[in-house]
A and B are shown apart, each in its own frame.
Chain A
Amino acid sequence: GENVEQHPSTLSVQEGDSAVIKCTYSDSASNYFPWYKQELGKRPQLIIDIRSNVGEKKDQRIAVTLNKTAKHFSLHITETQPEDSAVYFCAASEGLDSGGGADGLTFGKGTHLIIQP
């Protein structure tokens, strides 16, 4: 099955600086890569996702890059703000092309992002 590794487990950055979180995956059939943000005691919420037919996607201060050859993808947050403090999870799935494989998302263990004022 799919295995998703996420680094670092904790990331502390100064407010206004950029933050980068990296993930690797093992299943070359995976083609859907979302990122979820989970604030303390809250539910995970999707912040951005990317599919394997593109290499990069941006949404305001957030961007995700994907390297299918190397089987890794990254989350980039620029101009960080206090409200960015949370745990971020990457995930991977075979999506609609699972062809009988697992249909659930496999999540990484999470990165606790701390924005220092």
Chain B
Amino acid sequence: GAGVSQTPSNKVTEKGKYVELRCDPISGHTALYWYRQSLGQGPEFLIYFQGTGAADDSGLPNDRFFAVRPEGSVSTLKIQRTERGDSAVYLCASSLITGGAGELFFGEGSRLTVL
């Protein structure tokens, strides 16, 4: 596709449920990032993939959050036992340049609401 695609665009779930958010990066982009953006805040780094491996997962808030990228393309962010504080827009970005040293191309985000 022409840009980074994220699904779903909106997800409403109940506290305690499991959620999966999908990101389809720009073809050929090795680097893939997940960020979380709360209202009125800047994007908060969660995890960075270089190819299939998580090169840096230091931003994941706790062990309820997990992300995979099994074939080095599509990535899935998984949140277990969701809490109301998990409500935010989850942004995925991809880049041709690894290491956070080049332009990030963001998707439109997945807005998660935990009731």
A is bound by B: yes
* Interface set of A (CB-CB < 8 Å, partner B): 1, 4, 6, 32, 34, 36, 42-46, 49, 89, 91, 93-98, 102-110
Select from chain B the residue with minimum beta-carbon distance to A108: B42
Cα distance A1–B44 in the bound complex, in angstroms = 13
Q: Which residues of A contact B55 (CB under 8 A)?
A: 103
- Cα–Cα, bound, A96→B98 (Å): 7
A96 touches B103 (CB 8 A): no
Check B103–A104 contact: CB distance below 8 A: no
User: CB-CB < 8 A to B108: which residues of A?
Assistant: 42-43
Inter-chain contact B59/A34, CB cutoff 8 Å = no
| 8 nearest A-B residue pairs (beta carbon) | A95-B101, A107-B42, A104-B45, A93-B100, A43-B106, A103-B56, A96-B99, A96-B101
Sample (5) of A-B pairs whose CB atoms are under 8 Å apart: A1-B58, A104-B45, A104-B47, A105-B104, A108-B42
Q: Once bound together, how far apart are the Cα atoms of A32 and B100, in whole Å?
A: 8
Asked if B41 is an interface residue, CB under 8 A from chain A, the answer is: yes
B42–A98 touching, CB < 8 Å: no
Chain B: residues with CB nearer than 8 A to chain A? 33, 35, 40-48, 50, 55-56, 58-59, 91, 97-101, 103-104, 106-109
Measured between C-beta atoms, what is the minimum distance from B98 to chain A in Å? 7
A103 adjacent to B106 (CB under 8 Å): no
User: Taking A1-B58, A96-B98 as contacts, is the C-beta distance between A45 and B40 under 8 angstroms?
Assistant: no
A43 shortest CB reach to chain B, Å: 4
Minimum distance in angstroms from B97 CB to a CB of chain A: 8
Determine the chain A residues whose CB is within 8 A of the CB of B45 once the complex forms.
102, 104-107
Q: Nearest Cβ distance between residue A107 and chain B, in whole angstroms?
A: 3
Report chain A residues within 8 Å CB of B106. 43-45
Contact between B100 and A44, CB atoms less than 8 A apart:
no
Residue of A nearest to B46 (CB): A104
Contact B56 A102 (CB under 8 A): yes
Residues of A within 8 A of B101 (CB): 32, 93, 95-96
Residue contact B59 to A104, C-beta cutoff 8 Å: yes
Residue of B whose beta carbon sits closest to that of A107: B42
Choose among A98, A104, A109, A110 the residue with the greatest number of B CB atoms under 10 Å from its CB: A104
